[in-house]
A = this chain, B = another copy of it.
Amino acid sequence: MNQILFGEVFNLSKHPSKSTLEKKRLDYEVEVFPLLKGIQNAYWKEEKNRIKLMAHETQHSPPLRVGVMFSGGPAPGGLNVLWGIYEGLKEIHSESKLIGFFDGAGGFLDDRFIEIGEDEISDIMNQGGFTLLGTGRTKIETEIQMQKALEIVKKNRLQGLVFIGGDDTNTNAYMLSKFFGKENARCSVVGIPKTIDGDLKGNGLEASFGFDTATKTYSSMIGNLCKDALSCKKYWFFVKLMGRAASHVTLECALKTKPNLAFISEEVRKKKIPFTKIVDMCAKVVIERAKKGKNYGVVLIPEGLIEACSDLKEMIDECNVLKRGGKSYEELSDDTRKLFFSLPQNIQKQLSGDLDPHGNMGLSHVSTDQLLAQMVEERVKDIEEVSFKVVPIFYGYDGRCGLPSNFDATYCYNLGLIASLLVRDRRTGYMAAVANLHLPIAEWSAIALPISSMIQEEDRHGKVKSVIAKALVDLKGNPFKELSKYRDRWMLDDFYESPGPIQYDDNGKDGFEKTMTLELEQKKRSFF
Contact = CB atoms under 8 A, between A and B. Distances in A.
A5 B491 contact: yes
Contacts of A235: 397
A502 B499 CA distance: 13
Q: Which among A8, A258, A497 has the highest number of chain B CB atoms within 10 Å?
A: A497
Number of copies: 2
B5 A230 contact: no
A495 B18 CA distance: 9
A501 B501 contact: yes
A427 B489 CA distance: 47
A134 B393 contact: no
Contact of A403 (B393, B500, B508): B500
B74 A398 contact: no
Interface stretch (A124-132, A351-359, A446-454): A124-132
A195 B394 CA distance: 25
A511 interface: yes
Given A74-B231, A221-B221, A394-B393, A288 B498 contact: no
A21 B499 CA distance: 6
A10 B221 CA distance: 26
Interface string A1-30: 110110111111100111111101100000
Contact of A511 (B11, B20, B391): B20
Given A21-B503, A224-B399, A503-B505, A16 B496 contact: yes
Given A22-B498, A281-B1, A398 B16 contact: no
A101 to B, nearest CB: 14
B232 A73 contact: yes
Interface in A223-257: 223-228, 230-233, 235, 237, 256
A504 interface: yes
B489 A401 contact: no
A31 to B, nearest CB: 20
A240 to B, nearest CB: 12
Q: Which among A21, A25, A346, A492 has the highest number of chain B CB atoms within 10 Å?
A: A21
A392 B281 CA distance: 29
Interface of A: 1-2, 4-5, 7-13, 16-22, 24-25, 70, 73-74, 103, 128-131, 134-135, 217, 220-221, 223-228, 230-233, 235, 237, 256, 258, 267, 271, 273, 277, 281, 284-285, 288, 346, 391, 393-394, 397-403, 487-489, 491-506, 508, 510-511
23 contacts: A2-B277, A2-B281, A5-B488, A7-B488, A9-B492, A10-B488, A16-B230, A16-B498, A17-B497, A19-B223, A19-B498, A19-B499, A21-B501, A128-B498, A129-B231, A131-B230, A221-B398, A224-B398, A237-B397, A346-B346, A501-B501, A503-B504, A503-B505
